């Protein structure tokens, strides 16, 4: 049993209190490897932003949970070495069982998500409550979810969102005791969040997706004043990365994300945590493809993973400084 407090990590409680009062959102960036983690820490130290490091169950399988935890511990020391002791939370993204959440809590995670959003309501409540009861003994914070995000990449339940039902949120938060709530208001996971035919074109010919359901967010805020809300699926899918990927042999088709102005608006509301994974994947892939295509004789991984790390760092800094408003808040 390892306490996150001994690793220099923090839970989300104070982060979210400050984000709510200061009208900004904390970035929650997923990581699976060293270069991603280096880029996140460099960017957040340079922009003086608090940060949530997210580990999905897929990341855990890919990289090993123990290794990822030591990397997060190392990230705390690395941030200090770079000159700023920023608040760093280590969070389980989309935990799907009590056992997975418990295992992460027992080995040093400071926050977990239990995602029961696909379950019938009462089962979601019971599972989430069980995780909260365990987590709170160790001062670990818990994120729950109500409503289902559409995912064009998913095999099932794909095309349509089940938006969060505002009339359920008080009952859910009261019965479960969660510290934050992820809601469904039109975002979705992956790089294909909207189909082109769902979008309109602006004067410059750029595709503009339908706006998020801020009316639902407002109804949730009315029922849970001051309660931290989380947005998943919040990558903006920068077209410059999609173009580079496709220019150098990629086939990322019809990739459309959440416009940055929508995320800026959400950051000023009760949304305290914004999840970004796909944008990092696109930046990294674009950099690697460009180097390999333009320098075909190169075979030192540092020569393509190094530029990928630099592109990632610029992306993360941009999120903190120009979108989420978390820069300068560490
Ligand atoms: O919400 C899902 C995250 O983007 C993590 O994705 O399960 O492929 O690691 P993953
Ligand atoms: P994106 O796929 O939009 O980056 O969302 C990531 C996410 O929600 C992780 O939980
Ligand atoms: Zn998610």
Q: pLDDT for 97-156, tens place per residue?
A: 999 999 999 999 999 999 999 999 999 999 999 999 999 999 999 999 999 998 754 444
Distance from the alpha carbon of residue 233 to the mean position of ligand 3, in angstroms: 6
The answer, yes or no, to whether any atom of ligand 2 lies below 6 A from the CB of 38, is no
Which atom of ligand 1 lies closest to the CA of 62? 9
Give the pLDDT of residue 78.
98
d(CA 175, CA 21): 25
Q: Where are the beta strands (DSSP E) in the chain?
A: 26-30, 51-56, 88-95, 111-114, 141-146, 180-183, 200-201, 207-208, 229-231, 271-276
pLDDT (mean) for 278-282: 98
- Does 59 contact ligand 1 (Cβ within 6 A)? yes
* Closest residue to atom 9 of ligand 2, CA basis: 275
Closest of 40, 60, 77 to residue 277, by C-alpha: 40
Angle, helices 34-46 vs 278-294, to 10°: value is 110
Ligand 2 within 6 A of 115 CB? no
> Helix H segments across 195-259?
214-223, 239-247
In this prediction, residues 212-226 reach a mean pLDDT of: 98
Catalytic residue among 6, 93, 215, 310: 93
Q: In the chain, what percentage of residues exceed pLDDT 90? A: 95
């Amino acid at each position: 049993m390892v306490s996150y407090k001994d690793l220099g990590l923090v839970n989300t409680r104070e982060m979210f209190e400050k984000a709510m009062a200061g009208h900004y959102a904390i970035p929650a960036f997923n990581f699976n490897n060293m270069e991603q983690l280096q880029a996140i820490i460099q960017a957040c130290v340079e922009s003086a932003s608090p940060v949530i490091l997210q580990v999905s169950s897929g990341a855990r399988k890919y990289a090993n949970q123990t290794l990822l935890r030591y990397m997060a511990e190392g990230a705390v020391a690395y941030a200090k070495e770079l000159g700023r002791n920023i608040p760093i939370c280590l969070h389980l993204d989309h935990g799907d069982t009590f056992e997975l959440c418990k295992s992460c809590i027992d080995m040093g995670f400071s926050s977990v998500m239990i995602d029961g959003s696909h379950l019938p309501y009462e089962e979601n409540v019971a599972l989430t409550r069980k995780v909260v009861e365990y987590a709170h003994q160790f001062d670990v914070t818990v994120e729950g979810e109500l409503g289902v995000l559409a995912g064009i990449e998913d095999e099932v339940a794909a095309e349509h969102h089940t938006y969060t039902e505002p009339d359920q949120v008080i009952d859910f938060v009261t019965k479960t005791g969660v510290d934050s709530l992820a809601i469904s208001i039109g975002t979705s996971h992956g790089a294909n969040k909207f189909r082109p035919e769902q979008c309109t074109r602006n004067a410059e010919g750029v595709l503009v997706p339908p706006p998020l359901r801020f009316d639902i967010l407002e109804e949730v805020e009315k029922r849970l004043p001051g309660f931290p809300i989380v947005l998943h699926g919040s990558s903006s899918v920068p077209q410059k990365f999609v173009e580079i990927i496709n220019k150098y042999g990629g086939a990322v088709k019809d990739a459309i994300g959440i416009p940055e102005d929508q995320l800026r608006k959400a950051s000023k509301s009760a949304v305290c945590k914004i999840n970004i994974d796909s944008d990092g994947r696109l930046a990294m892939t674009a950099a690697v493809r460009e180097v390999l295509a333009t320098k075909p004789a190169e075979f030192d991984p540092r020569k393509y993973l190094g530029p990928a790390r630099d592109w990632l760092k610029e992306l993360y800094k941009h999120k903190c400084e120009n979108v989420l408003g978390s820069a300068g808040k560490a």
